[in-house]
Structure 1
């Protein structure tokens, strides 16, 4: 009997420690597990550190190209549309910090507050400021507010200013925002959201940071890369970001070549619009060799390596 009591005690003790260890925010070890296909540099919180240069190049990629590339890799649930956009004329790219919100439940909220205190977070103010505190330059705050708009406004202009000050970027919210007029005045800030309302956030609580979340039709992991523009949002696994950008840039060059040859009437639309013959492929390769390096979206070495790999 004594051995049984000791066993039960140890099970309860380690179970308690495991629950406490989970906290509000995913540990670096958990994030590394979720993003184990990434082989590059990481942030201290464990998220993949996709380069700023690659994020900048990604702004020129079309949503359809990114979507098609990911589907070709078996990632069929990475797009979400139907957004209201603060500055629809601008594209935004960045590294994801996720947050999950749920309808308020007092007993669960108490656990979240206790875990937040253990993580040395401010438990006096609203917990919707917690994800903002850990944003770094190049991040995008991506939150699932289960589509709630009235009383589901995750930020207003004050938090919008704080988000931009920390990240130099904006937000993607499956939920609402308030004070759009104020957000419009935050220079450089942008946001994709499901609607605006003057109400404050209430009867809603933060439940996790940097855990997997769902944004509409898409599954999103911390450290994903976002491509957002007026045509929607695509959430790109970090380990595919570089290949996606380069592949899409090649598609763009193929389009430029095709348009030029159509204007020159060298080929018909039917020839360009279907699988290219060896003659057209050779013409394209020669066209690439003469294309100015200063106009290439990638380095000449990246282009040469990619074209060589396609022949293997």
Structure 2
């Protein structure tokens, strides 16, 4: 027999779950619960709010370094390739997620009705755009649909860029590519291009966990998109990952320089460095402070903890 207090607690838990399950968007508490390893600032919707300065530094690191760091942490499913890229440059920012599924009228009707109750404006595929802020990247699971799966055209592209100043990652199609490429600064990663309009797709949730190809993506992750593909970085690793990648890039630049000068052999550079090479490297960095993305103090602290 269930005790009255326990029964009341279970009923409250079920009621809370039902209340949350009816929302189109995950609640801030749900997002915080699933990203509790992150201890920094958050946006009003509950997503981790990694600092803009870190996102700017993220643009300069390599996909390989980000991928390698995450693999070493046990995160093996954070990268995906095989994209059609719209625009030029690097895509970097905080992830806002959306999930789409093949249309099912009884489910879609309830989502549309819920959106109306929440006073959302327009069709469901515009709702995530309304939530974007500067530095956000709209990342959508469109289950790889290209024909009749064009989640973006030039009108929505202009709206997205006006809100975020970044771009998109859509596991789906795009249309109006000539118009999209006229948006200066916009970068899009999509599965393919097609002139069709979106049909028989429904939005099922916003700011929930999604799958992008072989990657699992959470709201508030950082995304880095370059020629190789896109990598999704859990917010709790952002600062350390970026510092690690910056250090490795400096180490590689120094190593290439000294190899070209003939000062060291490949065997000396490719193994654990001797104290003399370490000292030479630190003097070189001190003589070229313009090469540092982190502050000199951050670099000094990092090298003290670094396992060379």
Q: TM-score, normalised by structure 2?
A: 0.93
Residue 291 of structure 2 is aligned to residue 295 of structure 1: yes
Superposition misfits of 4+ residues, deviation over 6 angstroms: none
Q: Deviations over 1:264-293 (max 9, x none)?
A: 1111122212332333223323333x3332
Q: Residues of 2 paired with 1:311 and 1:90: CA distance?
A: 33
- Which residue pairs with 1:209 in the alignment? 206
Aligned to 2:51: 51
Q: Tell me the distance in 2 between the aligned counterparts of 1:188 and 1:119.
A: 32
Paired residues for 1:1-312 under 5 Å: 15=14, 18-22=17-21, 23-87=23-87, 89-122=88-121, 125-288=122-285, 290-310=286-306
Q: 3-state SS of the aligned residue for 2:189?
A: strand
d(CA) in 2 for partners of 1:73, 1:291? 33
Cα deviation per residue 1:86-106 (whole Å; 9 max; x = unaligned)? 12x411100000000000001
Q: Take 1:175 and 1:311, find their aligned partners in 2: how far apart are those partners?
A: 42
Q: What stretches of structure 2 of length at least 5 have no aligned partner?
A: 1-6
Alpha-carbon distance in 1 for matches of 2:183, 2:257: 41
Aligned Cα root-mean-square deviation (Å): 1.9
- Superposed displacement of residue 19, structure 1: 2.5
C-alpha distance in 2 between matches for 1:118 and 1:26: 16
Cα shift readout 1:91-137 (whole Å, capped 9, x = no counterpart): 11000000000000011112211221232212xx3210000000000
Distance in structure 2 (CA, Å) of the matches to 1:38 and 1:118: 32
For the residues of structure 2 that align with 1:256 and 1:61, how far apart are their CA atoms?
A: 13
What does the per-residue CA deviation read over 1:212-264, in whole Å, with 9 as the maximum and x for residues that have no partner? 00000100000000010111100000110111111000001101110111111
Q: How many residues align?
A: 300
- Partners of 1:149 and 1:197 within 8 A in 2: yes
Bigger strand fraction: 2
Per the TM alignment, residue 183 of structure 1 is displaced from its structure 2 partner at its CA by 0.6
> SS state of the match for residue 271, structure 1?
helix
- For 1:126 and 1:311, locate their aligned partners in 2 and report how far apart those are by CA, in whole Å: 53
Query: Is the Cα–Cα contact under 8 Å of residues 20 and 26 in structure 2 kept in the other structure?
Result: no
Q: CA deviation at 1:15?
A: 4.8
Using the TM superposition, give the Cα deviation of residue 25 of structure 1 relative to its aligned residue in structure 2, in angstroms: 0.1
Q: Could you list the runs of 5+ residues in structure 1 that have no partner in the other structure?
A: 1-6
Residues 311 and 187 of structure 1, relative CA distance in 2, 3 Å threshold: closer
CA offsets per residue over residues 16-45 of structure 1, 9 Å max, x none?
Answer: 663343311000001111111111111000
